[in-house]
Amino acid sequence: MQKMINILNKRAKFDYEILERYDAGIVLTGTEIKSIRLGKASITESFCEFHNGELFVINSQVEEYLYGTHYNHKAKSERKLLLNKKELKSLEKSMQNKGLTIVPLRLYVNEKGYAKMEIALCRGKKNYDKRETIKDRDTKRDIDRVKKSF
């Protein structure tokens, strides 16, 4: 049985207000997919940009494959995302709005063995929104603690 690979960007839910979610395929080389299947990837500082009508994820880190030879990949490089043409056009149109960005939320391997990336159209939160999120999280933790004692 194949191990579930699920690499999360926990920082994105704290820093951004998520408006729309999309599942996109990602173009990888042989050693990149092997490293992802081992769980050696990070998407915490990554974001997405359009180049000539194509969507690329920038700053995603996939560590070099341990058993790779001189054909090994670079750890940080641009990787192309695969979406339908209609989805790409709607994302590019909405990116023209001020303050919106595309952020990867999750990198995972589906049941067929393909690497997929869940991306989201997001708007950045203000500092007071972040403080409110922290306050809500703390109150929920306190309530759960009280419920557990009874």
Q: Give the 3-state secondary structure of the chain.
A: CCCCCEEECHHHHHHEEEEEEEEEEECCCHHHHHHHHCCCEECCCCEEEEECCEEEEECCEECCCCCCCCCCCCCECCEEEECCHHHHHHHHHHHCCCCEEEEEEEEEECCCCCEEEEEEEEEECCHHHHHHHHHHHHHHHHHHHHHHHC
The pLDDT of residue 67 is above 80: no
83-115 per-position pLDDT tens digit? 999 999 999 888 887 889 999 999 999 888 889
Paired tokens of 46: 């990554």
Q: Which amino acid would we find at residue 75?
A: A
Q: What is the residue-averaged pLDDT of the chain? A: 87
2-41 per-position pLDDT tens digit? 567 888 888 888 888 999 999 999 998 888 888 888 888 8
Between 138 and 64, the higher pLDDT residue: 138
Per-residue model confidence (pLDDT) at position 3: 67
Residue pair 41/6 in contact (Cβ under 8 Å)? The answer is no
Residue pair 100/122 in contact (Cβ under 8 Å)? The answer is yes
The pLDDT of residue 126 is above 90: no
The pLDDT of residue 117 is above 90: yes
Question: pLDDT > 90: what percent of the chain?
Answer: 41
Q: How far, rounded to the nearest angstrom, does the alpha carbon of residue 142 sit from its chain's CA centroid?
A: 30
Per-residue model confidence (pLDDT) at position 1: 42
Q: Which amino acid would we find at residue 79?
A: R
Q: Which of 48-52, 71-75, 80-84 has the lowest mean pLDDT?
A: 71-75
Predicted TM-score (pTM) of this structure: 0.80
Q: Which amino acid would we find at residue 5?
A: I
Give the model's confidence band at 150: pLDDT under 50 very low, under 70 low, under 90 confident, else very high. Answer: confident
Say which residues have a Cβ less than 8 Å from residue 21's Cβ, sequence separation at least 6.
Answer: 105, 118, 119, 120
